Structure formats: C-alpha cells, structure tokens
C-alpha cells in the first residue's frame, strides 16, 4: 500500500481497526471456548472504540496537518492479511491475545514508519500524539485482558 497524505493514512488505520473488529467477530463464531469468545467480543469492542477515537482525531485535526504529503510511504496491506487469519477451535485466550497484539503492532508499526518519514514538525507532533495514545490503549488492553484470568 502507498499513502500520499496523512488523511489517507488515518483513513486506512480506521479501516484496519474496523476490519480487525469484524475479524474478531468472525473468529468469535468459530471459537469453542467461552473464555475465548468473551475475549474476542472484548477485542471487537476495543477495536471499534479505537477506530472511533481515530475518527475523532482526524475530524478535529487541522487541514494543514491532514494534507501533509509523504514522499514515499509504502507498507504491506494489513487488511489483506486480516482476511487470511483463522482460528483453531483449540485456541486459548493467550494465543488470541498474542494474535491481537501482533495485529495491533502492525498498525503501530505503520504509524511509526510514517513518523520516521515525516518531514514537517506539525505532522511529526500529530503522529507522536497518535502513537502515544495508541500505545496507552494497547497497554490498557493488555491489562484488561490479563484481568480476565480472575473471571
């Protein structure tokens, strides 16, 4: 995938989050364990919330920042990879959590790559803020998931 402007990148991140939510919903129908189903439902809700936060950021960001051009920001198509993900009926919640972190990190890596390739300070600041918020959400996700062990 090739992104030209920050707004395109943010739209793609939103699409990835929505696709991840749909993936977790699909996997929830395939899972046997009630704990795994519960975790997948949580992951679906989490991804929808993150997509909504990203939309809010995109909608409130300045036009100048959103229209910043990247010279060459190429990345593998995360959404295409999501279509190939399957779950085995014996998958436990730790394997699901590993999968979720792997997929989440692909989005964070894309944002990090954009930050590294950005030449404008305002765009760098925007991407740093987005990455910081995404990492905090990821940490909360891990903590909340680990708390599920107590259930």
What is the tens place of the pLDDT at every residue in 7-60? 999 999 999 999 999 999 999 998 989 999 999 999 999 999 999 999 999 999
Residue 75, C-beta contacts closer than 8 angstroms, at least 6 positions apart: 1, 2, 3, 110, 113
**87: which DSSP letter?**
-
Decide if 76 contacts 3 (C-beta within 8 A). no
pLDDT in tens, 66-101: 999 888 888 889 999 999 998 887 889 899 999 999
Question: Rounded mean pLDDT of 112-121?
Answer: 92
> Which structural domain range is residue 91 located in?
2-150
| Residues in a beta bridge with 73 | 3
- According to the model, what pLDDT value does residue 151 have? 58
Q: What is the pLDDT of residue 82?
A: 92
According to the model, what pLDDT value does residue 75 have? 82
Which range among 12-16, 119-123, 133-137, 144-148 shows the weakest confidence by mean pLDDT? 144-148
Spatial separation of the C-alpha atoms in residues 30 and 92, rounded to whole Å: 13
pTM of the predicted model over 0.75: yes
User: Please, what sign has the CA dihedral across residues 16, 22, 25, 30?
Assistant: negative
pLDDT at residue 147 above 90? no
| CATH number (domain holding residue 21) | 1.20.1260.10
The number of folded domains in the chain is 1
pLDDT of 149 reads: 65
Q: Is 113 exposed, middle or buried (0-12, 13-18, 19+ CB in 10 A)?
A: middle
Bigger pLDDT: 9 vs 4? 9
Answer whether 54's CB lies under 8 Å from 10's CB.
yes
Q: Identify the band that residue 1 occupies on the pLDDT scale cut at 50, 70 and 90.
A: low
């Amino acid at each position: 995938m090739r992104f030209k402007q920050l707004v395109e990148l943010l739209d793609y991140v939103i699409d990835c989050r929505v696709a991840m939510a749909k993936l977790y919903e699909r996997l929830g129908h395939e899972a046997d364990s009630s704990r795994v189903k519960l975790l997948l439902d949580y992951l679906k809700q989490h991804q929808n919330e993150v997509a909504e936060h990203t939309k809010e950021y995109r909608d409130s960001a300045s036009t100048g920042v959103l229209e910043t051009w990247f010279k060459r920001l190429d990345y593998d198509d995360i959404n295409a990879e999501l279509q190939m993900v399957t779950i085995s009926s014996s998958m436990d919640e730790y394997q699901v959590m590993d999968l979720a972190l792997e997929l989440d990190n692909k989005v964070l890596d894309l944002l990090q790559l954009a930050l590294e390739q950005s030449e404008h300070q305002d765009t760098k600041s925007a991407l740093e803020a987005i990455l910081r918020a995404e990492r905090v959400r990821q940490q909360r996700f891990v903590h909340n998931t680990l708390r599920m062990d107590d259930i």
